Amino acid sequence: MKVLILGAGQGKRLLPLTEDIPKALLDVGGRTLIERQIEAFTACAIRQFVVITGYGCADMERVLQEISDRIGGITIRTVYNPFYAVADNLASCWMARAEMDGDFIQVNGDNLFRSEMVRDLLAAASAAVTVAVNRKDEYDADDMKVMLDGDRLTEIGKTLPVEAVDAEAVGLYVFRGDGPRLYRETLERAMLDPGALRQWFPSAVGALAKQTDVRVCAVNGHEWCEVDFPTDLQRARHMVAGWP
């Protein structure tokens, strides 16, 4: 099992905090977002990491080396996405397709979570593709919303009609067995579309759901957050203040 971390973005909605660094390097309680992610995964005995870089790649490389040296016993490779300034993250996934050669977890570089959530997700992930989801009473325009048939994902996207939404995708995706190959092939087809640079990778997951079972794992009860806005960063820092 390896982890692919999407860390190419600047995080413009967090400006001026991300004026000089990518948002994955923002400080959350004395450690960067990406360091907290890697710690959560290594606590689950995962040792291989691939980080897709873009904005502030030199700083990212430096910090990743420091993390690798401190933790020890892990490998962190990087894949540079030269299109980060003009493309959404479907292109980042496509750039890393050669790394999708076995079971892996894909995670957004702006997600904050603990190892317990990773363990529960891995324990539930028996399908080719498993998506971590959160169920709540109301969904907003920025949520990556999903529609379900039982525990099977049928649709995913930010613009799904709110009245038909069953949960939100929290940013962690597990690919096992045939999942990596199917996802890689779906990314290849998606990038043939002239509009692919303006697409998010969940559109590829939605396409996958039309040809194979994409299952979900509810992570309600776990502490987590996605850092998109300054208020999210404030909430993240408050949340980790209560962590051991």
Each residue's pLDDT tens digit, 127-146: 999 999 999 999 988 899 99
| Helix residue ranges per DSSP H, 72-129 | 89-95, 115-124
Report the pLDDT value the prediction gives residue 242, as an integer from 0 to 100: 87
Tens of pLDDT, residue by residue over 60-111, are 999 999 999 999 999 999 999 998 888 888 999 999 999 999 999 999 999 9
3-state secondary structure 2-41: EEEEECCCCCHHHCCCCCCCCHHHCEECCEEHHHHHHHHH
Report the pLDDT value the prediction gives residue 204, as an integer from 0 to 100: 93
Map out the domains of the chain with their CATH numbers.
Answer: 2-240 (3.90.550.10)
Say what the pTM is. 0.94
| Amino acid letter for position 170 | V
Beta bridge partners, 175, equal 104, 129
